[in-house]
């Protein structure tokens, strides 16, 4: 049974208004748009599907799921998440967002939070929420996709309606992936979204940048 108040708390934590600076990051999307790989809604949707199924979206969701488990060694999981960062900007993104998230959560919950990469920090904080792992992951993946879509809406640019239609169409995939990642073991960690990984590295060398990654 989903606790509605806890669900609202998680939605608040994942909101763009929650002060982790998510609006400042694009995970290489800016470089991909600049280099002509993402030109319209169709190419953005394909990019998002690939990242969610084979890239950082999948990896982060698995880290959230394992951080939710009270039996998980959270320090070891945090080290593993850092080790899997595909680029310097990606490592900085997960570190800085995790730090900002932890500071705010510590103030809200009146409890200290260890410095953790963002996905691990979210899962660790959500241990106290009465929510199924698949529910947490579904909302996390929705927020993940929404952040990248918002970046593309600004930078391609795309219309707001196009961006919202892409997120609407992704809904069934997000539900299915959340259920899958909720039971995925750490032994199956890995990324195969080479274009997205290379775009993150390419972003580090761009002379003019709007986003930090």
Instruction: For residue 154, give the CATH number of its domain.
Output: 1.10.4190.10
Q: What's the rounded Cα separation, in Å, for the pair 138 and 140?
A: 5
Task: Examine the pLDDT at 2 and tell me if it is beyond 70.
Answer: no
Judge whether 211 lies within some domain. Answer: no
Q: What's the rounded Cα separation, in Å, for the pair 45 and 50?
A: 9
Judge whether 138 lies within some domain. Answer: yes
Cβ-proximal residues to 29 (8 Å cutoff; 6+ apart), any chain? 38, 47, 148, 151, 152, 155, 199, 211
Query: Which of the 8 DSSP states describes residue 210?
Result: S
User: How does residue 38 score in pLDDT terms, banded at 50, 70 and 90?
Assistant: very high
pTM attached to this predicted model: 0.94
Judge whether 47 lies within some domain. Answer: yes
Task: Examine the pLDDT at 8 and tell me if it is beyond 90.
Answer: yes
Q: What's the rounded Cα separation, in Å, for the pair 159 and 167?
A: 13
Judge whether 23 lies within some domain. Answer: no
Q: Could you report the per-residue pLDDT of 96-142, keeping only the tens digit for each?
A: 999 999 999 999 999 899 999 999 999 999 999 999 999 999 999 99
- Alpha-helix runs per DSSP H in 88-132: 88-109, 118-125
Q: What's the rounded Cα separation, in Å, for the pair 87 and 83?
A: 10
Domain extent, residue 149, equals: 4-15+28-203
Tokens representing 37? 């790989």
Quote the number of domains for the chain: 1
Please compute the mean of the pLDDT values over residues 42-49 and round it to a whole number.
95
Judge whether 134 lies within some domain. Answer: yes
Q: What percent of the chain has pLDDT over 70?
A: 98
Judge whether 21 lies within some domain. Answer: no
Q: What percent of the chain has pLDDT over 90?
A: 72
Judge whether 193 lies within some domain. Answer: yes
Judge whether 96 lies within some domain. Answer: yes
Which of 136-150, 162-176, 184-198 comes out lowest in average pLDDT?
184-198
């Amino acid at each position: 049974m989903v606790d509605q108040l806890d669900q609202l708390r998680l939605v608040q934590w994942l909101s763009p208004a929650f002060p982790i600076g998510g609006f400042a990051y694009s995970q290489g999307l800016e470089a991909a748009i600049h280099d002509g790989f993402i030109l319209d809604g169709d190419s953005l949707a394909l990019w998002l599907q690939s990242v969610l199924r084979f890239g950082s979206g999948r990896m982060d969701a698995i880290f959230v799921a394992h951080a939710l488990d009270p039996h998980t060694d959270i320090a070891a999981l945090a080290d593993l998440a850092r080790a899997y960062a595909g680029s310097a900007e990606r490592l900085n993104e997960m570190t800085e967002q995790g730090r900002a998230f932890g500071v705010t959560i510590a103030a809200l919950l009146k409890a200290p939070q260890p410095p953790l990469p963002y996905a691990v920090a979210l899962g660790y904080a959500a241990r106290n929420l009465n929510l199924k792992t698949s529910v947490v992951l579904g909302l996390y993946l929705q927020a993940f996709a929404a952040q990248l879509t918002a970046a593309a809406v600004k930078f391609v640019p795309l219309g707001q309606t196009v961006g919202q239609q892409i997120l609407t169409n992704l809904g069934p995939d997000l539900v299915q992936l959340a259920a899958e990642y909720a039971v995925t073991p750490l032994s199956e960690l890995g990324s195969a979204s080479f274009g997205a990984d290379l775009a993150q590295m390419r972003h580090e060398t761009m002379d003019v940048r709007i986003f930090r990654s």
